[in-house]
Amino acid sequence: MSADEKILAWAREGNNLSCPEWEQLPAIPLYVDQVLQYLRDSLRFFERDEADVLLTNSMINNYVKKNVLPHPEKKKYSREHMAALTVICMLKQVLAIQDIGTLLQDRSMDPELYKAFLDAHTGAVRETCRELEQSCCSGADLRREALRLAAESNAKRAAAERILYEIASADGTQENGKSKKQ
């Protein structure tokens, strides 16, 4: 299969992507190994290849230590934890953990916040995949397409970082570019 064909197949898969909605997240608390397996299965689309791992036990422990993720209850992770970890896994690709902490600070992951994230994220993925599918079908240069997508991503990342920096500065949680609370 050529690179164009692989990209086209990936884009078509993305057009039908649906991350687990709140009600689809496990209702019973899970142990960390179960959490890892569930999220690996749910977020496989976002891995570059088999060796690319979005989440490990150590990562979860670090998120808890940095107060980005609430402590588990009796070593079990709730639906709220699963939603927060889904958001963290997606956002850590473009934002520093410190910025994700600012974004989620003082907010428990509730169905409304999670739905807002999923709507924005799924919409962005589908729009990107539609554009990519059109580019592949029209014979566009994939390197130029990757360059365009990376440039757009960088601009949006910079805007998100600026917003989160200003929020943290206003809250008094930033000091010389570093978070006071972490």
Supply the pLDDT for residue 108: 73
CA–CA gap between residue 98 and residue 88 (Å, rounded):
11
Q: Which helix (H) or strand (E) holds 162?
A: helix 142-171
Supply the pLDDT for residue 137: 84
Three-class DSSP category at 116: helix
| Residue 59: closest CA among 32, 78, 80, 31 | 32
Supply the pLDDT for residue 179: 46
| pLDDT tens-digit profile, the chain (182 residues) | 888 899 999 999 999 988 999 999 999 999 999 999 999 999 999 988 877 889 999 999 999 999 999 999 999 999 999 999 999 999 999 999 999 998 888 667 889 999 999 999 999 999 999 999 998 888 888 999 999 999 999 999 999 999 999 998 998 766 545 544 44
Residue 16's alpha-carbon distances to 4, 123, 130, in angstroms, are: 19, 11, 10
Residue pair 170/178 in contact by the 8 Å Cβ criterion = no
> Domain-by-domain residue ranges, the chain?
3-179
The label of the residue with tokens 């206003």 reads 170
CA–CA gap between residue 89 and residue 97 (Å, rounded):
10
Supply the pLDDT for residue 174: 61
Burial 26-58 (b: 16+ CB within 10 A, else e): eeebbebeebbebbeebbeeeeeeeeeebbeee
Supply the pLDDT for residue 36: 97
Question: Sign of torsion, CA 104 109 113 118?
Answer: positive
CA–CA gap between residue 81 and residue 147 (Å, rounded):
35
Supply the pLDDT for residue 99: 93
| Residue 44: closest CA among 72, 22, 14, 65 | 14
